[in-house]
Amino acid sequence: MAFELPPLPYDKSALEPYVSSKTLDFHHGKHHNTYVVNLNNLTKDTALASLSLEDVIKAVAGDAGKVGVFNNAAQVWNHTFYWHCMKAGGGGAPSGDVASAIDSAFGSYDKFAEEFKNACVTQFGSGWGWLVAENGGLKIVKTPNADTPLANGQTALLTCDVWEHAYYLDYQNRRPDYVQAFLDNLVNWDFVAENLASA
């Protein structure tokens, strides 16, 4: 079965004014979809086509002859994960188990937010900022281009897409403003809690 573009988990205007429907129209309908189309073309009639998306990523990670497959598969997965990291009325400090885990790892939500924003802003060029679980603890990492915690032995808990296509229509060059709006108004902590519970 071919890989498919999952629908957005909310209406295209749901994240306004922080992420516009125009951005989601291009980002989901064009960018994310193109990764799906490319992945299907690259895996057509190969053994990879019958694997789950996660297994494709793990199978080709680090394989110099399969960089195109890795890049497109990881970008399909990263984007689907990213859509779920946001919701209308999200953001601000979490509560419950996520709050405890963040306090334990970073000292406070404010310290976490500062470090997460710094990772997102300092990722040179295209990439992603992440909160991940690794060896029982939480940490913040940034990955270039399509690279993903899934390929690095880490469990993704939260991500912010910092490719320019994620924010340029709404924020132009102001990546720090986009990341701040993501933290203050968009983070879906319920999704983070689900990921933490299964980490």
**Residues forming the site for Mn ion (CB under 5 A):** 161, 163, 166
In angstroms, give the least distance from the CB of 165 to Mn ion. 5
Q: Which of 124, 156, 151 is nearest to 139 (CA)?
A: 156
| CB nearer Mn ion, residue 158 or residue 196 | 158
Residue 185 CB neighbour total at 10 angstroms: 18
In angstroms, give the least distance from the CB of 126 to Mn ion. 8
Sequence-distant (≥ 6) Cβ neighbours of residue 61 within 8 angstroms = 70, 151
In angstroms, give the least distance from the CB of 163 to Mn ion. 5
| CB nearer Mn ion, residue 49 or residue 53 | 53
Q: Which residue is nearest to Mn ion (CB)?
A: 161
How far apart CA 191 and CA 83 sit, in angstroms, is 10
| CB nearer Mn ion, residue 76 or residue 98 | 76
Measured at the alpha carbon of residue 159, what is the angle toward residues 150 and 103, in degrees to the nearest 5?
Answer: 100
- The answer to whether the beta carbons of residues 5 and 32 sit under 8 Å apart is yes
- The answer to whether the beta carbons of residues 133 and 127 sit under 8 Å apart is no
In angstroms, give the least distance from the CB of 29 to Mn ion. 12
